[in-house]
A and B are shown apart, each in its own frame.
Chain A
């Protein structure tokens, strides 16, 4: 069982800073989009190490599959 955590801070001007923890790869962006996209305009996204972990896993799997085919 893994815990997904999203921390959302809304400052006194209504600006949002959101951070995900325990959600790897593009799923973290999907989760944020689900929660916020209706209500805010996105300014920027900074990808953390966790984001690339899952992507690296995917790439590794792809490479393994390629090697198998060869």
Chain B
């Protein structure tokens, strides 16, 4: 005997989950840690609740697409579930999951772009600090050797003109 099990996307990030709901046209309200959707079933409003480090969708299991009740009646008498674009819970969760994964990928790309930008900035600052330090050391050494120093910046370069009179 064999079986194939598919699980729903683990919704870990609230911000992404809310955006995913918005993107698929599901209205929601927030109540503490819960995200109340505009879907209803026998037990009332279907909602995402934070539990064990992830958001879990709480609903009446008889509202599942393959539940005996749904198969028998093909109608869901409670609430407005048949008026939703995503009629069954599994279809709804699949749509939310797909959108969530898309947003998650975008977020990763954005974070990677930010990381690269920050790394680039850090390297540039490191180089500028090196140049400033080098300029200061050479200036100090030139003073010790009796030079007068004129410092200027020309086209991004530091220019030091050192002069000393000899007899």
Residues in A lying within 8 Å of B, measured CB to CB: 1-14, 16, 31, 34-36, 38-40
Complex CA gap A4/B166 in Å reads 7
Interface residues of B in 109-167 (CB under 8 A from A): 127, 130-131, 134-135, 137-138, 141-142, 145, 147, 154, 156-167
Would A35 and B167 be within 8 Å (CB), given that A10-B134, A14-B131 are in contact?
no
**How many A-B residue contacts, CB cutoff 8 Å?**
72
Whether the pair A39, B138 counts as a contact (CB closer than 8 A) is yes
Complex CA gap A8/B131 in Å reads 13
Whether the pair A35, B163 counts as a contact (CB closer than 8 A) is no
In-complex Cβ contact of B127 among A2, A3, A13, A39 (8 A) = A13
> 10 interchain pairs (CB within 8 A)?
A2-B165, A2-B167, A3-B164, A4-B165, A6-B142, A6-B160, A10-B159, A11-B156, A12-B157, A35-B142
Whether the pair B163, A8 counts as a contact (CB closer than 8 A) is no
**Which residue of A is nearest B162, CB measured?**
A6
Complex contacts, A5 vs chain B, CB 8 Å: 161-164
Q: What's the least CB distance linking A56 to chain B, in Å?
A: 20
Would A9 and B157 be within 8 Å (CB), given that A14-B127, A34-B141, A39-B134 are in contact?
yes
Main secondary structure of the interface of A (DSSP, over half): mixed
Would A4 and B163 be within 8 Å (CB), given that A34-B141, A36-B138 are in contact?
yes
Given contacts A3-B163, A6-B142, A9-B160, 4 further A-B contacts (CB under 8 A): A6-B161, A7-B161, A9-B158, A10-B159
Q: What's the least CB distance linking B143 to chain A, in Å?
A: 11
Complex CA gap A9/B154 in Å reads 9
Complex contacts, A39 vs chain B, CB 8 Å: 134, 137-138
Complex contacts, B167 vs chain A, CB 8 Å: 1-2
Complex CA gap A6/B164 in Å reads 9
In-complex Cβ contact of B159 among A7, A31, A34, A38 (8 A) = A7
Complex CA gap A13/B126 in Å reads 11
Q: What's the least CB distance linking A32 to chain B, in Å?
A: 10
Complex CA gap A2/B138 in Å reads 23
Whether the pair B127, A35 counts as a contact (CB closer than 8 A) is no
Q: What's the least CB distance linking A24 to chain B, in Å?
A: 11
